[in-house]
Amino acid sequence: GAWGGPGWRLPGRVLELVFSYLELRELRSCALVCKLWHRVLHGDENSEVWRSLAARCLAEEALRTDILCNVPTYKGKVRAFHHAFSTNDCSRNVYIKKNGFTLHRNPIAQSTDGARTKIGFSEGRHAWEVWWEGPLGTVAVIGIATKRAAMQCQGYVALLGSDDQSWGWNLVDNNLLHNGEVNGSFPQCNNAPKYQIGERIRVILDMEDKTLAFERGYEFLGVAFRGLPKVCLYPAVSAVYGNTEVTLVYLGKPLDG
């Protein structure tokens, strides 16, 4: 039948049913088969395919609480899960909670502990949210790191930004850190308000312009770092306070374009 006719709608519904049993890797292959399959998969980000995949791969707590409140579609929620903190690529002193998005730092003395996400970026524009759910302690850094950056070290230090493999914003003293040096304060305004526990910071990585920027609430705070290298960069955090918790949620492309 014609594209809009009943003859097309039936196979679409049948395809959707079949697709809803597949895993993400298989769905990626299916989307390449033909335009119809691609349209069935990606035309509706809240379709049964994405709903059932979200139900299978996301913890009930993640779907039930407001962790993913700024990720409106089921496809977006599945994507956020695949971009969450890595359970393997983090300090031995932290673990990722059952919800899949929150890092918990164990109370270990004289240690700084970090984590990277499962997926890094070498192109495109990407946004994610980070928020602290416990005390910041003396150093609480959010930013980006290459795969080579260390995720644990002795003492209480700004691990993110301690060498040329990472870039960080310390929320405690509002300093920007890279290569072991302070790159000025941020945001660049007088009496910038201090970070409040639970505030969601939006991080915007632009691999085309090679910049890293931050937003608080819906206020754009400005570009923090320019001239980033053309390498694979991962969202990352580092923390020092015992039992503090940090949540990171990937949002996709920034809304402004």
Q: What is the pLDDT of residue 5?
A: 44
Distance between CA atoms of residues 252 and 22, nearest Å: 23
The fold adopted by the segment(s) 87-252 is Jelly Rolls (2.60.120)
Q: What is the pLDDT of residue 10?
A: 53
Q: What is the pLDDT of residue 257?
A: 42
* pTM, 2 dp: 0.91
**Domain extent listing, the chain:** 12-80, 87-252
3-state SS, residue 54: helix
How many C-beta atoms lie closer than 10 Å to residue 118's C-beta? 16
Q: Which two three-digit tokens encode residue 221?
A: 């705070």
The closest alpha carbon to 200, from 31, 7, 71, 104, belongs to 71
The string over 130-157, giving b where at least 16 C-beta atoms fall within 10 Å of a residue's C-beta and e elsewhere, is: bbbebebbebbbbbbbbeebbbbbeebb
**How is 155-181 classified by DSSP, letter by letter?**
SS---TTSSTTEEEEETTTTEEEETTE
**How is 89-150 classified by DSSP, letter by letter?**
EE-TTEEE-TTSSEEEE---TTEEEEEEES--BSSSEEEEEEEE-S---S-EEEEEE-TTS-
- Burial class, 36, CB count within 10 angstroms (exposed 0-12 / middle 13-18 / buried 19+): middle
Helix (H) or strand (E) holding 68: none
- Can you give the pLDDT of all 257 residues of the chain as single tens digits? 445 444 445 577 788 888 888 888 888 888 888 888 888 888 899 998 999 999 999 999 999 999 999 999 999 999 999 999 999 999 999 999 999 999 999 999 999 999 999 999 999 999 999 999 989 999 999 999 999 999 999 999 999 999 999 999 999 999 999 999 999 999 987 778 889 999 999 999 999 999 999 999 889 999 999 999 999 999 999 999 999 999 999 999 987 54
CB 49 within 8 A of CB 25: no
CB 150 within 8 A of CB 113: no
Q: What is the pLDDT of residue 256?
A: 57
